[in-house]
Amino acid sequence: VTVYAAGVLAFAGFVARQLTAGHPLFTVSLFRSRRFTMSVLIKAAADATFAGVLMIVVRYMVVERDYPRTTAAWVLLPAVGGM
């Protein structure tokens, strides 16, 4: 829980800095566009889903199929590269 709280605080600080910086890394006003905001949220959801499925598949390969961890990683490497 502490790590999540630290992450939220760091993100809030980053956004606050970007709003006040003379030359920000990205323009926060881009998020006023609904199309841009939705595309970012959909991409984040897709990445989170992929990471979750990948964790389950790795566990299945190691526990149920008795693959060594390194072999499971090598087998799944093309999927990670494709993402």
Lowest mean pLDDT of 5-9, 20-24, 33-37, name the range.
Answer: 20-24
How high is the pLDDT of residue 27? 86
Q: Which of 79, 71, 75 is nearest to 53 (CA)?
A: 79
**Confidence tier at 29 by pLDDT (50, 70, 90):** confident
Can you give the pLDDT at residue 26? 84
Rg (CA), the chain: 18
* pLDDT above 90 (res 41): yes
Report which of 58, 60, 39, 61 is spatially closest to residue 50, judged by C-alpha positions.
58
